Amino acid sequence: MPDAGPCIIICAVEILAPESWEEALALKAANPEAVPIAGGTDVMVELNFDRMRPAAMLDLTRVAALSDWGVDDGWLRVGAGVSYTRIIDELGDRLPSLAVASRTVGSPQIRNRGTVGGNLGTASPAGDALPPLYVADAEVELAAPSGTRRVPVAEFITGPKRTSAREDELIAAFHVPAAQGAQQFAKIGTRNAMVIAVCSLALAIWPERRAVRACLGSAGPTPLPATEAEAFIAGVLDEEALWESRRPIGDSALRRFGELVAGAARPIDDVRGSAAYRSHALAVLGRRTLSWAWEEQRCA
Ligand SMILES: Cc1cc2nc3c(=O)[nH]c(=O)nc-3n(C[C@H](O)[C@H](O)[C@H](O)COP(=O)(O)OP(=O)(O)OC[C@H]3O[C@@H](n4cnc5c(N)ncnc54)[C@H](O)[C@@H]3O)c2cc1C
């Protein structure tokens, strides 16, 4: 038998390219296996490394409605297709923690293409947009031809790379109240740019609620709210009347807050860092982000 030479297998991928949101929802419902693609900065990596061979892809880049943002009933509604660059340029004053996190994502090219909707869709424990959404009390808007629903981000993300979205649903937007107080985000990486977080921390001060919210990234299977640290610092701010006096938070309280932040972690050893290093780094991030944010808050 003659040698047939190298065999090249070509797998056809059907590309569905809706022009409108209604068409996108109808196509997703009719083709639940179709993988949505927005900026493609996660999906294309999966394809290139052959970790995914979808029969169909749903290209959302022509759906203009996904790139809109606006104010809806006092909340910001930010379309799933709004890029990191636009979050930084257009929403930095209203969503400071998310904007700082966005500045740490990848490179200018990745920030131009990558979207917060894509970060939600991937639901990686290291997704940098996620902890800021937790501390801002964000809700994810999911849509299907049968209707839309809003889910708190902590209920949307159910595990590492798992979400509560149904197969027929797309992420339409996220909803978030504009920041009422100072916010921060800090991330540890093995270098300054183009780096997946070893660990990260988002923090938001809510003066009207007399509360501080903190959420850890890349320190467990999902972003992790630091609830004990939050309760501790709320007590300190009240008992020492710091909301009224606007005095700085004492060193011992900052240190204890950092320890409690670290205590909320469920870190693992991996190529990016050891569990012990992550815990140490989170205690430092807790202390620093709180002191930066409180300084901004009390001087405002
Ligand atoms: C070089 C490089 C550096 C990176 N650096 C960082 C970093 O520093 N921090 C970080 O967090 N991430 C980083 N990433 C990962 C990636 O850029 C982000 O996760 C980004 O937010 C993904 O957005 P996207 O629009 O490109 O998503 P896509 O790749 O298009 O999609 C991601 C996932 O979301 C789904 N999806 C997208 N839109 C929708 C929708 N509307 N409805 C339902 N599902 C949807 C897709 O099906 C897919 O599962 C990096 C990636 C690369 C290649």
pLDDT, tens digit, 9 for 90 and up, residues 27-71: 999 999 999 999 999 999 999 999 999 999 999 999 999 999 999
Distance in angstroms (rounded) separating the CA atoms of residues 162 and 140: 14
The predicted structure's pLDDT at residue 57: 97
Let me know how long the chain is.
300
Distance in angstroms (rounded) separating the CA atoms of residues 276 and 274: 5
Distance in angstroms (rounded) separating the CA atoms of residues 47 and 4: 28
Tell me which residues have their CB closer than 6 angstroms to ligand 1: 35-43, 45, 60, 80, 104-106, 110, 113-115, 117-119, 121-122, 127-128, 170-171, 194
The predicted structure's pLDDT at residue 72: 82
The predicted structure's pLDDT at residue 195: 82
Number of Cβ within 10 Å of residue 256's Cβ equals 18
Whether pLDDT at 149 is above 80: yes
Distance in angstroms (rounded) separating the CA atoms of residues 198 and 278: 7
Whether pLDDT at 169 is above 70: yes
Distance in angstroms (rounded) separating the CA atoms of residues 233 and 257: 7
Closest CA relative to residue 197, chosen from 216, 218, 222, 221 = 218
**Atom 37 (ligand 1) nearest CA:** 118
Confidence of residue 7 (pLDDT cuts 50, 70, 90): low
CA of 42 to the centre of ligand 1 (A): 4
Whether pLDDT at 295 is above 80: yes
The predicted structure's pLDDT at residue 4: 56
CA of 45 to the centre of ligand 1 (A): 10
As a three-state string, the secondary structure of 101-166 is HHHCCCCHHHHHHCEHHHHHHHCCCCCCCHHHHHHCCCEEEEEECCEEEEEEHHHHEEECCEECCC
Number of Cβ within 10 Å of residue 52's Cβ equals 13
The predicted structure's pLDDT at residue 108: 96
Closest CA relative to residue 104, chosen from 170, 21, 198 = 198
The predicted structure's pLDDT at residue 194: 82
Distance in angstroms (rounded) separating the CA atoms of residues 182 and 294: 7
User: What is the pLDDT averaged over residues 13-19?
Assistant: 96
Nearest-atom number in ligand 1 for the CA of 171 is: 42
Residues with Cβ < 8 Å from 249, sequence gap 6 or more?
A: 233, 236, 237, 242, 257, 290, 291, 294
Mean pLDDT of the chain, nearest integer: 95
Whether pLDDT at 205 is above 90: yes
Mean pLDDT lowest for which of 29-38, 186-195, 262-271, 279-288? Answer: 186-195
CA of 160 to the centre of ligand 1 (A): 14
Alpha carbon separation from 61 to 24, 163, 240 (Å, rounded): 10, 22, 52
Look up tokens 């131009």; give the residue. 112
The predicted structure's pLDDT at residue 112: 98
Q: What is the pLDDT of residues 130-146, one digit of tens each?
A: 999 999 999 999 999 99
Q: What is the pLDDT of residues 61-108, one digit of tens each?
A: 999 999 999 998 889 999 999 999 999 999 999 999 999 999 999 999
Alpha carbon separation from 252 to 41, 249, 258 (Å, rounded): 42, 9, 10
Looking at the chain, the number of H-run helices and the number of E-run strands are 12, 14
Whether pLDDT at 208 is above 90: yes
